[in-house]
Amino acid sequence: MIRPIKVLLLKSKIIDITPIVQSISLNSNVDTLGQELDINIISNFDTQCFPINPVEIDNHISILNHDNTEIFRGMVVADNTNDRNPKGYKCFDYAFNLNKSEDIFQFKDISVQQALQQICNRYNIKNNICSINTKVKKIYKDKITSDVIKDLLDIAKNETGKKFFFEVNGDTLYVKELQNEVIKATFKLANNVQDYDINNGIGSVSIKKSAEDLKNSIVIVKDNNILATVQDQNNINKFGLLQMAESIEENDKAKAQNKAKNLLNEFNKIVEETNVQFLGDFRVKCNRILELNEPVTGLSGQYRVMSCTHNYDNIHVMNLGLERVM
């Protein structure tokens, strides 16, 4: 048993197409702005007395969870007919235009928050941007718009040490400060039984630890002049010198020192990559925290969701890429 969902086609009138949906796959990643939905629909072809498939490219689709909260809303951008198999459709949420457009932006000493609002307004995208007071004075030419958004958030992160993330909910782009938001994820086996914690529904687990990208020394330069150097001598003794050099535009030693410290905090660590399959809960999304305890593999503690794929067919399964928080 899986919790029921509802798939709606948003035309001049709303059409419930749930009965002809065979399966869906909803994908997201922390490095990508927006979600991708793959949906397979049973089509009538030459079969009589079967509902006509009304879905077309440029249509909009909404998916509701069992409690009527919206899981996804986006536009159909491609279809695929393969003999008499279910017809496949690819949909993207409303970050699609930001990912597919190149543009020119000139920001003249305004806050990152204001810069992000200007971008959204240019593309007529509703937005809810948290306060980001870091100033930006920069020209972007012929850049993919979503890459400009990522760079602006990196500028804010390097100056403040705070991390920010973006996501689209419904028709609105949200930018939020990254918090340790713990999700109490559950699954359900039948309508007449209780919800179970996802720790009781863990499938395959793979864990990889690596120091390949570790950096234990950060150098900040301006026009070949070193403005700041920050190192971890203990890790240098263990691994040898692994250095990152970064350039900045301003000749500001205080900002350079702050950026070096923030980069060292980010890269001076052994990275643990964990991939786990669970029975599904659509409340689980990228940048949320799960608290796990799986004694066989040693999967224990808090983990941030870095990638997330929900597969909904005869059973709801989610495949998660996780990063240990604590």
- Range 98-177: architecture per CATH: 3-Layer(bab) Sandwich (3.55)
Residues near 132 by Cβ (< 8 Å), separated by ≥ 6? 111, 112, 113, 116, 153, 156, 164, 175
What are the residues facing 280 on neighbouring strands?
none
In whole angstroms, what is the distance from residue 227 CA to residue 126 CA? 40
Half-sphere exposure of 199 (CA within 13 A, CB side): 17
In whole angstroms, what is the distance from residue 167 CA to residue 94 CA? 10
pLDDT at 220: 92
Which residue's structure tokens are 């009527």? 68
pLDDT bucket at 2, cuts 50 / 70 / 90? low
Alpha-carbon dihedral of residues 224, 230, 232, 238, nearest 10 degrees? 0
Give me the mean pLDDT over the 284-291 stretch: 94
Give me the mean pLDDT over the 286-306 stretch: 89
pLDDT at 193: 80
Helix-then-strand count for the chain, H and E: 5, 22
pLDDT at 49: 65
pLDDT, greater one: 186 or 190:
186
pLDDT digits (tens, 9 = 90+) for 126-137: 999 999 999 999
pLDDT at 47: 62
pLDDT digits (tens, 9 = 90+) for 212-245: 999 999 999 988 889 999 999 999 999 999 999 9
Buried b (16+ CB within 10 A) or exposed e, 94-120: bbbbbbeeeeebebeeebbbebbbebb
pLDDT bucket at 1, cuts 50 / 70 / 90? very low
Mean pLDDT of the chain: 90
In whole angstroms, what is the distance from residue 15 CA to residue 28 CA? 26
Give me the mean pLDDT over the 95-124 stretch: 95
pLDDT digits (tens, 9 = 90+) for 18-69: 999 999 999 999 999 999 999 999 876 566 667 788 899 999 999 999 889 9
Flag whether pLDDT at 303 surpasses 60. Answer: yes
Residues near 154 by Cβ (< 8 Å), separated by ≥ 6? none
Query: What residue ranges do the domains of the chain occupy?
Result: 6-92, 98-177, 186-210+271-324, 217-267
Cβ 37 vs Cβ 61: under 8 Å: yes
DSSP 8-state symbol, 289: E
- Exposed, middle or buried, 228 (CB in 10 Å: 0-12/13-18/19+)? buried
Flag whether pLDDT at 90 surpasses 70. Answer: yes
Residues near 300 by Cβ (< 8 Å), separated by ≥ 6? 292, 293, 294
In whole angstroms, what is the distance from residue 109 CA to residue 136 CA? 5
The yes/no answer on whether domain 186-210+271-324 falls in CATH 2.40.30 is yes
Cβ 159 vs Cβ 258: under 8 Å: yes
- Exposed, middle or buried, 153 (CB in 10 Å: 0-12/13-18/19+)? buried
State pTM to two decimals. 0.86
Residue 99: helix, strand or coil by DSSP? helix
In this structure, what token pair is assigned to residue 100?
Answer: 């597919």
What are the residues facing 26 on neighbouring strands?
37, 310
pLDDT at 48: 66
